[in-house]
């Protein structure tokens, strides 16, 4: 797969996970592409940490002083959406009112623990709302490239500091769809551009092959 196609491919597969009516929080990077791939009949309510329920594009009359997204960029709200304060926003997030969150990952391990906020000694960005989202959302989907510089990102145990432990439900990459279960990681879908052996070779954790294994495309 061409490097330029990877992000769109992952986002398109993630889009199939979302159901009409879902309340969804999208992290930065690949997750922000997901709405572009939703079918016409699937309408989700995007929620943003800053307190927007029903996030939309900024439109023709952006108000960058008063209406921004979680990254501080001009944003908007769809008709029927609303603005809530931070404590209420995280009541929504932590309290289990968000159906799905899609986040990027630096490392995921076979227990479904995720590291995506800190590389010690390098940067100190802060966790923002990621830790709350991971413990609170009903479904946690990690959308990321399968490897980084050829090295596996799906590990037996995360080496980087955790964002949250035992929180991930599904990992979607350009190579595979992997479900986190009590018995470890289960390969449920594969990109036919790769063999199962190639997918396992790019994964440090051991993958169990689902009896219902199917193609991602």
Partner 1 sequence: MPKFVSMEEAAKLIPSGATVMVGGFMGCGSAHRFLTTLSQSGVKDLTVICNDGSKPGGPLGEEYYGVAKLIHNRQVKRLITSHVGLNPEVAQQNMQEGTLEVTLVPQGSLAEMIRAGGAGLGGILTPTGVGTVVEESPLCLGKQTINGRDYLLMAPLHADFAIIAGYKIDREGNVWYKGTTINHNLVMATAADTVIAEAEQVVEVGTIAPEDVRTAGVFVDYVVEGGLY
Catalytic residue positions, numbered: 49
Hey, which residues between 40 and 69 contact partner 1 (CB under 8 A)? 48-52, 63-68
Assess 149 for contact with partner 1 (CB under 8 A): no
- CB-wise, 71 or 192, nearer to partner 1? 71
Q: Give me the sheet containing 114-115, strands edge to edge.
A: 114-115, 107-109, 154-155
- Binding string to partner 1 for residues 119 to 138, with x set by CB under 8 A, is what? ----xxxxxxxxxx--xx--
Cβ-based nearer residue to partner 1, 7 or 94:
94
How many of the chain's residues bind partner 1 (CB under 8 A)? Answer: 46
Q: For partner 1, which is the closer residue by CB, 67 or 207?
A: 67
Cβ proximity to partner 1, 42 vs 131, nearer residue: 131
Q: What is the DSSP letter of 206?
A: P
Phi-psi region of 186 (alpha: psi -120 to 50; beta: other; left: phi over 0): beta
Structure-block tokens of residue 215: 């193609």
Cβ closer to partner 1: 38 or 67? 67
Asked whether 98 and 137 are in contact (CB, 8 A), the reply is yes
Strands ordered across the beta sheet of 176-181: 76-83, 52-56, 45-48, 23-26, 100-103, 139-143, 170-172, 176-181, 184-190, 207-215
Residue 217 CA to residue 215 CA, distance in Å, equals: 5
Stretch that binds partner 1, among 12-20, 117-125, 186-194, 204-212 (CB under 8 A): 117-125
Per 3-state DSSP, the chain is made up of helix, strand and coil in percentages (nearest 5) of 20, 30, 50
Q: How far is the CB of 107 from partner 1 (least distance, A)?
A: 13
The stretch near partner 1 (CB under 8 A) out of 5-13, 16-24, 98-106, 116-124 is: 116-124
Using rule CB under 8 A, residue 93 touches partner 1: yes
Where do we find the tokens 């960058």? Answer: 64
- Residue 145's CB is within 10 A of a number of other CB atoms, namely 16
State the minimum distance, in angstroms, from the CB of residue 85 to partner 1. 4
Number of residues written out for the chain: 217
Binding site for partner 1 (CB under 8 A): 48-52, 63-68, 70-72, 74-75, 77, 83-87, 89-90, 93-94, 113, 118, 123-132, 135-136, 161-166
């Amino acid at each position: 797969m061409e490097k330029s196609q990877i992000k769109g491919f992952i986002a398109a597969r993630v889009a199939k996970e979302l159901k009409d009516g879902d309340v969804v929080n999208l992290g930065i990077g690949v997750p922000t592409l997901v709405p572009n791939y939703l079918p016409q009949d699937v309408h989700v309510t995007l929620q943003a940490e800053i307190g927007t329920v029903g996030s939309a594009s900024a439109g023709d009359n952006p108000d960058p002083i008063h209406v921004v997204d979680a990254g501080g960029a001009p944003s908007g709200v769809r008709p029927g959406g609303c603005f809530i304060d931070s404590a209420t926003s995280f009541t929504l997030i932590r309290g289990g009112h968000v159906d799905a969150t899609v986040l990027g990952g630096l490392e995921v391990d076979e227990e479904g623990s995720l590291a995506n906020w800190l590389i010690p000694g390098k940067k100190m960005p802060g966790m923002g709302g990621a830790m709350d989202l991971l413990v609170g959302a009903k479904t946690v989907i990690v959308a990321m490239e399968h490897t980084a510089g050829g090295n596996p990102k799906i590990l037996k145990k995360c080496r980087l500091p955790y964002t949250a432990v035992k929180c991930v439900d599904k990992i979607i990459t350009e190579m595979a769809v992997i479900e986190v279960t009590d018995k470890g990681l289960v390969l449920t879908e594969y990109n036919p551009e790769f063999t199962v052996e190639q997918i396992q070779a790019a994964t440090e954790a051991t993958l169990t092959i689902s009896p219902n294994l199917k193609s991602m495309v």
